[in-house]
């Protein structure tokens, strides 16, 4: 049985193009080249159980990715798929370079301070060009921790733990 939690989003079905049922794909991955190797797509909306469609043809060029599914042969049928998310099983994720992590994995971690005291659970990640900012739920308040080596000392995805070195003023006063 297919479990929706075993799948991650890698793209989104865009608008239909042409009359043969072709569709555009908006990549939601750092590895858009992955689409060239996919023989079938698992599509879903709102974390519902994904369903599979076989690929007839896929084209990738500099500005867009288009797909033609085997059982979708009209513009009308293609339009019904607009907005669906393209998913892959977690086992099919690309291997990341050392010290790089999937956001989904980080969001499952608890954050501990330099004294091994639980600060809270990772809540969100703000992506910025210079460095990411980890948003940690600390007793109902958001604590922002820059994702740089000065603050983040250890990430252990397997045990869902992040060790951080916090400075005075990072945690809200407990008065």
Walk me through the domains of the chain, giving residue ranges and CATH numbers: 4-92 (2.40.30.60), 103-164 (2.30.30.240)
Beta-carbon contacts of 127 under 8 Å, excluding residues fewer than 6 positions away, are: none
Q: Which two tokens stand for residue 6?
A: 């075993």
Residue tagged 């980080």 (tokens): 106
Tell me how crowded residue 20 is: count the other CB atoms within 10 A of its CB: 14
Q: How confident is the model at residue 161 (pLDDT cuts 50, 70, 90)?
A: very high
Residue 175 pLDDT: 45
pLDDT beyond 70 at 174: no
- pLDDT the model gives residue 29: 83
Using CA atoms, how far apart are residues 148 and 151, in angstroms rounded to an integer?
Answer: 6
CA atoms within 13 A on the CB side of 19: 0
Selection from 147, 144, 111 nearest residue 131 by Cα: 147
Q: Are 109 and 160 in contact (CB under 8 A)?
A: yes
């Amino acid at each position: 049985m297919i479990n929706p939690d075993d799948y991650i989003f890698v793209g989104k079905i865009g608008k239909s193009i042409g009359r043969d049922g072709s569709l555009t794909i908006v990549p939601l991955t750092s590895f858009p080249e992955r689409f060239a190797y996919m023989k079938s797509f698992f599509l879903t909306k709102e974390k519902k159980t994904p369903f599979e469609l076989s690929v007839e043809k896929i084209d990738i060029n500099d500005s867009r990715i288009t797909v033609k599914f085997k059982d979708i042969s009209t513009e009308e049928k293609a339009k019904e798929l607009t907005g669906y998310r393209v998913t892959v099983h977690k086992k099919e994720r690309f291997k990341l370079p050392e010290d790089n992590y999937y956001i989904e994995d980080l969001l499952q971690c608890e954050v501990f301070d330099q004294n091994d005291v639980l600060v809270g659970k990772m809540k969100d990640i703000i992506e910025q060009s210079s460095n990411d900012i980890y948003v940690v739920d600390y007793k109902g308040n958001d604590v922002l921790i820059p994702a740089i080596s000065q603050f983040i000392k250890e990430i252990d995805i397997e045990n869902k733990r992040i060790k951080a070195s916090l400075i005075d003023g990072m945690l809200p006063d407990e008065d």
